[in-house]
Amino acid sequence: MTRRNFFQVSAGGAITLPEFQPKSMLHVAAHPATSAKFPVIDVHTHLFGTGRRAAPDSPEGAAELSSVAQCMDECNLQTLINLTGGISGTIPAIRRVMTPFGGKFLTAAEPTWARANEMGYAQWQAEDLAKCKQEGAVGLKILKTLGLGLRENGKLVSIDDPRFDPMWEAAGSLELPVLIHTGDPGAFFTPIDRFNERYEELQHHPEWSFYGRDFPPRSELHEARNRVAARHPKTRFIYLHVGNDAEDLAQVSDWLDRYTNVNVEFGARLGELGRQPRTARKFFDRYQDRIMFGTDATFNAGKEFPQQDLVPPMYRCYFRFLETEDEYFDYAPSAVPPQGRWKIYGIALPDAILRKVYHNNAAREFKLKAVFG
Ligand SMILES: [Zn+2]
């Protein structure tokens, strides 16, 4: 064998990054969990597809819920809270299709951004939220649209713009928790170059990058959101995706210490939490009453996107992270890691904390009947 053979990995020369699919040679104990140890309330899901939204009260919408319900029974998921699609006027149709499933599906309301620049919006939105609650909404979802998308005269509208104050106040007095997504992962605010830890993800979705142009730095978005929480202490906030700073749990801890009306959810952030299992475990210990289970799951019913197959494996990554001490495993079921080339480690939460994170914290915040004492 010549020396050259050691380095020659394929006939064409070096492989490209997408071709690199190393298989771990580690032999470590694996305890994949089929279903969650306690009944789960997932506070962060998107039912009825995303891009190709099925009309909720169409046969397609009902078929989607039936197939999701099957996955739920397999995985010990008690309730999924749908966060999108519940804008003014659509909630009755959503509730109609959910009701036959008992308490399995709930929905949040969204603000009507299309009217945000109209005269009288502030008061109208507050009143509309009361109507949404009457129709069955259990929370108010704020997409990253606020801060990164909504504009007036070409300029981005700030998250703490006073026109939303009546809405935040109404959410408080109506006891609707505000599920707020602000900013995005840190890597979406830095150049898409060889130093970017989500390089491959951003190659697939360059439009997800908020680097440059007129977007504010991520910290400014976070601070504007925090000012809203501070200004409305009687309103309950759930910062989605660990406040979109799962990379820096010391920072998130500081927010939780400062704002007692804030809770967090950790959907789509296993890649961050599971890479820092010791820090994450301490975080879950310390804030065990303020962390809720969420996944950001989308289901995309229909023949074109049979993603239901991926639903149980996706949930099982979460269960394994929360319940076991397993080492160096995948944070998502897909062959190519969707966010970055990382493996994660479990944090083996004790039962008392698992019950709170899986169920009781959400049951308390959404005023659902807790099944545990
Ligand atoms: Zn989401």
Beta carbons within 8 Å of 371's beta carbon, 6+ residues apart: 39, 78, 359, 363
CA distance 28 to 151: 51
Domain extents in the chain = 36-365
What's the topology of domain 36-365?
TIM Barrel (3.20.20)
Query: Which pLDDT belongs to residue 62?
Result: 85
* Residue 155 host element (H or E): strand 155-156
**CA angle (100 as vertex; 367, 40 as ends), nearest 5:** 45
Ligand 1 centre to CA of 296 (Å) is 4
Q: How far is the CA of 256 from the centre of ligand 1 (A)?
A: 21
Q: Is the Cβ–Cβ distance between 189 and 211 less than 8 Å?
A: yes
User: Ligand 1 centroid to 49 CA: how many Å?
Assistant: 12
The pTM for the full model equals: 0.94
Residue found by looking up tokens 């507050």 in the block: 126
- pLDDT of res. 370: 55
Spacing, Cα 267 to ligand 1 middle (Å)? 8
The closest of 246, 256, 242, 144 to 187, measured between CA atoms, is 246
Q: How far, in Å, from the CA of 142 to the mean position of ligand 1?
A: 10
**Cα(29) to centroid of ligand 1, in Å?**
32
Q: Give the whole-angstrom CA distance, residue 73 versus residue 39.
A: 10
SS3 49: coil
Between the CA of 101 and the centroid of ligand 1 the distance, in Å, is 22
pLDDT at position 59, please? 80
Q: Look at residue 228 and give its three-state secondary structure.
A: helix
Distance 208 CA to ligand 1 centre (A): 14
What one-character DSSP code corresponds to residue 235? S
Query: Tell me, what's the pLDDT at 51?
Result: 46
Instruction: Please compute, for residue 206, the number of CA atoms within 13 A of its CA located in the half-sphere on the CB side.
Output: 5
Nearest CA to 222 out of 193, 191, 192, 264 is that of: 264
CA–centroid distance, residue 234 to ligand 1 (Å)? 24
| Centroid of ligand 1 to alpha carbon of 286 (angstroms) | 25
Do residues 189 and 247 touch, judged by C-beta distance below 8 A? no
Ligand 1 centroid to 299 CA: how many Å? 12
Residues by chain with Cβ below 5 Å of ion ligand 1: 296
Task: Report pLDDT for 308.
Answer: 60
Ligand 1 center from residue 45 Cα (angstroms): 6
Report pLDDT for 304. Answer: 43
CA 141 to ligand 1 center in whole angstroms: 9
Report the first-to-last Cα separation within the chain, whole angstroms.
69
CA of 174 to the centre of ligand 1 (A): 23
| Tokens matching residue 123 | 């008061």
DSSP, collapsed to helix, strand or coil, labels residue 361 as helix
**Separation CA 125–CA 129 (nearest Å):** 6
- Residue carrying structure tokens 């299309």: 114
What's the 144 CA to ligand 1 centre distance in angstroms? Answer: 9
Length of the chain counted residue by residue: 373
Report the candidate in 241, 234, 193 with the shortest Cα–Cα distance to residue 218.
Answer: 241
C-alpha closest to that of 163 among 154, 150, 144: 150
- Please give the distance, rounded to the nearest whole angstrom, from the Cα atom of residue 1 to the centre of ligand 1: 54
Residue 27 CA to ligand 1 center (angstroms) comes to 35
Which of 256, 289, 271 has its CA nearest to residue 357? Answer: 289
23 Cα–ligand 1 center, Å: 31
Whole-number Å distance, alpha carbon 48 to ligand 1 midpoint, is: 13
Q: Which pLDDT score is estimated for 88?
A: 84
Under a CB-based contact definition with an 8 Å cutoff, are residues 183 and 216 in contact?
A: no
Write the DSSP assignment of 288-339 as a string of letters. TTSEE----EE---SSS--GGGGHHHHHHHHHHHHH----SB-SSSSSS-SS
Signed CA dihedral, 129, 146, 315, 356: sign only: negative
Q: How far is the CA of 341 from the centre of ligand 1 (A)?
A: 22
pLDDT value for 265: 98
The residues, ordered by sequence, that sit 6+ positions from 98 with a Cβ below 8 Å of its Cβ are: 65, 82, 104, 105, 106, 107
Alpha helices in 111-248 (DSSP H): 121-134, 145-148, 165-173, 199-204, 218-231, 240-244
Report the chain (373 residues): mean pLDDT per 10 consecutive residues.
50 83 94 95 87 67 88 95 91 94 96 96 97 97 97 97 98 98 98 96 95 95 98 98 98 98 98 98 98 90 53 93 97 85 97 98 91 49
Rounded to the nearest angstrom, the distance between the alpha carbon of 154 and the centre of ligand 1 is 26
CA–centroid distance, 193 to ligand 1, in Å, is 26
Nearest residue to 156 (alpha-carbon basis) of 229, 220, 242: 220
Cβ atoms 62, 75 nearer than 8 A: no
- The alpha carbon of 74 and the centre of ligand 1 are apart by a number of angstroms equal to 23
- Could you tell me the two tokens for 160? 């703490």
